[in-house]
């Protein structure tokens, strides 16, 4: 695998994003809830003492802040300027080792890690399956790997998918704007779309109705800061790939993972263990 010109622009875009949103304004309670939403299926009890693992596409290091205290050594890997943001955020975590590298050249020995995870990253590269295979190659047999990829709305009604297709037209235009203008437009979207829809879903939920099918209802309990971050994340990237649950499971198995388990709270987040034992 080699980094394409489009991927270089994606990397630059995420470097810009995490420099603007270094997560310093994110409340600890909200971070903890977001963390639990992703990691609730992760088999912490299966890890050995002083486990060694990696965070592929660490960004600002927000997940690493909560993983590092639980393990022996944590490698943080990111190809963008965000690695310097993570370095600042984790300056007091002596067990963190940071690498500026892309997924095609992870600077860790094969079969050396007791766990790994990559959340919201591999759907932003051209060869998602190749990237996943590279990650799995770093795991010891039997080691768990946690993965989050954008889902293709295979569990959503037709009208929901139609709304997404409309939003994707805007993304394809916005992601080509200069970074500063891209940022401004994404913040307007956060204020005019994310915030009102999310808070409306929260209100309807408090009235006793099920809001899981509401657009952007997943943000109903999140801060405006998180909405602003994710609006830039969603509309600022040139590469966005999506997968059905079946496609994701089959890809994980082809890449050498088994016993795939999907989260009930986060689409699509799954954990599998490396084959070999």
- What is the percentage of the chain residues whose pLDDT exceeds 90? 92
- Please compute, for residue 142, the number of CA atoms within 13 A of its CA located in the half-sphere on the CB side: 4
pLDDT tens string 30-43: 999 999 999 999 99
- Residue 213: the pLDDT is 86
* Separation CA 3–CA 163 (nearest Å): 32
Position 159 confidence tier, pLDDT thresholds 50, 70, 90: very high
**Phi, psi dihedrals of residue 195, rounded to the nearest 5°:** -60, -50
- Lowest-confidence range among 26-35, 194-203, 258-267? 258-267
Question: SS3 for 215?
Answer: coil
Q: Do 97 and 106 contact (CB within 8 A), yes or no?
A: no
Asked whether residue 2 carries a pLDDT value surpassing 70, the answer given is: no
Q: Do 58 and 133 contact (CB within 8 A), yes or no?
A: no
Asked whether residue 277 carries a pLDDT value surpassing 70, the answer given is: no
- Residue 4: the pLDDT is 76
Which stretches of 47-178 are DSSP H helices?
64-67, 82-89, 128-137, 158-174
- Residue 84: the pLDDT is 96
* Separation CA 272–CA 229 (nearest Å): 29
pLDDT tens string 7-24: 899 999 999 999 999 999
Which stretches of the chain are DSSP H helices?
5-20, 28-39, 64-67, 82-89, 128-137, 158-174, 179-189, 195-206, 224-235, 245-254
pLDDT tens string 46-96: 999 999 999 999 999 999 999 999 999 999 999 999 999 999 999 999 999
Asked whether residue 1 carries a pLDDT value surpassing 60, the answer given is: no
Q: What is the reported pTM?
A: 0.94
* Separation CA 150–CA 158 (nearest Å): 17
- Residue 264: the pLDDT is 85
* Separation CA 252–CA 132 (nearest Å): 8
* Separation CA 262–CA 221 (nearest Å): 23
pLDDT tens string 115-155: 999 999 999 999 999 999 999 999 999 999 999 999 998 88
Pairing of strands 269-274, 144-148: antiparallel
* Separation CA 53–CA 32 (nearest Å): 20
């Amino acid at each position: 695998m080699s980094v394409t010109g489009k991927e270089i622009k994606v990397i630059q875009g995420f470097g810009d994003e995490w420099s603007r949103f270094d997560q310093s304004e994110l409340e600890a309670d909200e971070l903890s809830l977001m963390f639990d939403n992703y990691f609730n299926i992760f088999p912490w009890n299966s890890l050995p003492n002083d486990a060694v693992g990696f965070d592929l596409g660490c960004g600002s290091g927000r997940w690493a802040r909560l993983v590092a205290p639980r393990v022996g050594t944590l490698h943080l890997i990111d190809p963008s300027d965000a690695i310097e943001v993570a370095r600042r955020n984790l300056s007091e975590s002596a067990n963190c080792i940071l690498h500026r590298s892309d997924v095609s050249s992870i600077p860790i020995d094969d079969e050396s890690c007791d766990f790994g995870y990559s959340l919201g990253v591999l759907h932003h590269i051209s060869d998602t399956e190749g990237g996943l295979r590279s990650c799995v190659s770093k795991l010891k047999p039997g080691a768990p790997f946690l993965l989050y990829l954008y889902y293709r709305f295979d569990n959503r009604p037709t009208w929901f998918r139609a709304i997404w297709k409309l939003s994707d037209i805007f993304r394809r235009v916005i992601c080509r704007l200069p970074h500063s203008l891209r940022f401004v437009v994404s913040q307007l979207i956060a204020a005019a779309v994310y915030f009102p829809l999310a808070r409306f879903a929260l209100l309807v939920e408090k009235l006793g109705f099920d809001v899981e099918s509401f657009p952007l209802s997943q943000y109903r309990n999140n801060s405006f800061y998180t909405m602003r971050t994710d609006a830039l994340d969603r509309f600022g990237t040139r590469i966005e790939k999506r997968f059905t649950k079946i496609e994701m499971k089959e890809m994980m198995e082809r890449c050498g993972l088994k016993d795939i388990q999907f989260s009930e709270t986060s689409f699509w987040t799954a954990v599998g263990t490396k084959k070999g034992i």
